[in-house]
A and B are shown apart, each in its own frame.
Chain A
Amino acid sequence: GQNIDQPTEMTATEGAIVQINCTYQTSGFNGLFWYQQHAGEAPTFLSYNVLDGLEEKGRFSSFLSRSKGYSYLLLKELQMKDSASYLCAALTGGGNKLTFGTGTQLKVEL
């Protein structure tokens, strides 16, 4: 079966850096997505990693280690608007099927 684990909640301070971890055990792994979801809204795409290493996109970076079944999302210079749920999702099989983790609720405080 597919198993994706991420912390349920995290709290961080405005202006700080936070790292959200995700571990996965899946069959036919083809890549790792991160989505952001604000309360009452739809998930929106943040990043996609298919190769090992770090992908940087502005304040957000995502890292993947396929051998360890591990990824993280790094958020720098945190802003209040970054308070949201962050969903880790594994791309599995030969197509474009995503299996999502249950999400990490991030709260940014002053």
Chain B
Amino acid sequence: DAGVIQSPRHEVTEMGQEVTLRCKPISGHNSLFWYRQTMMRGLELLIYFNNNVPIDDSGMPEDRFSAKMPNASFSTLKIQPSEPRDSAVYFCASSLNSAGETQYFGPGTRLLVL
């Protein structure tokens, strides 16, 4: 079975450019999570969706970040405009929608903003 799929795997962009990260969750999973990981702050939850609806976006750093989930098999995280401090690894994870269900992580997108 395919796991969580993320694209691109690597992204290098210049400050001020728009960045769009994509995620396809595991089929049948109805919860989707976006995380950011840096050396300084570790793994931080940005936003999560249940049944395509955003439930908690309190981790989204600021208005430059936005996330959508138009259907059960696709989500995007957009940064506009990007800044060097956004450089990090962005992970998408999915799970079944019940407390205690294991979250399965995608391979991540390594973003470098110059």
Give the chain B neighbours of A45 by CB distance below 8 A: 102-104
Give the chain B neighbours of A61 by CB distance below 8 A: none
In the complex, are the beta carbons of B100 and A97 less than 8 A apart? no
**CB contact between B50 and one of A50, A91, A95, A103 (< 8 Å): that residue:** A95
Give the chain B neighbours of A93 by CB distance below 8 A: 56
Task: Flag B94-111 by CB within 8 Å of A: 1 or 0 each.
Answer: 010111111111111000
Determine, out of B19-27, B40-48, B69-77, the stretch whose residues face the partner at the interface: B40-48
**CB contact between A42 and one of B50, B102, B106 (< 8 Å): that residue:** B106
Best-buried of B31, B95, B103 by chain A (most CB within 10 Å): B103
**CB contact between B42 and one of A33, A91, A97, A101 (< 8 Å): that residue:** A101
Considering only CB atoms and an 8 Å cut-off, how many residues of chain A contact the other chain? 23
Min CB distance A99 to B, Å, is 7
Task: Using CB atoms and an 8 Å cutoff, list the residues of chain A in contact with chain B.
Answer: 30-31, 33, 41-45, 48, 50, 87, 91, 93-103
**Sample of 12 A–B contacts (CB below 8 Å):** A42-B91, A43-B43, A91-B99, A91-B100, A94-B99, A95-B97, A96-B99, A96-B101, A96-B103, A97-B48, A97-B56, A99-B45
New contact pairs (11) apart from A43-B43, A48-B102, CB-CB < 8 Å: A30-B99, A31-B99, A45-B102, A50-B100, A87-B42, A95-B31, A96-B48, A96-B99, A97-B55, A98-B33, A100-B44
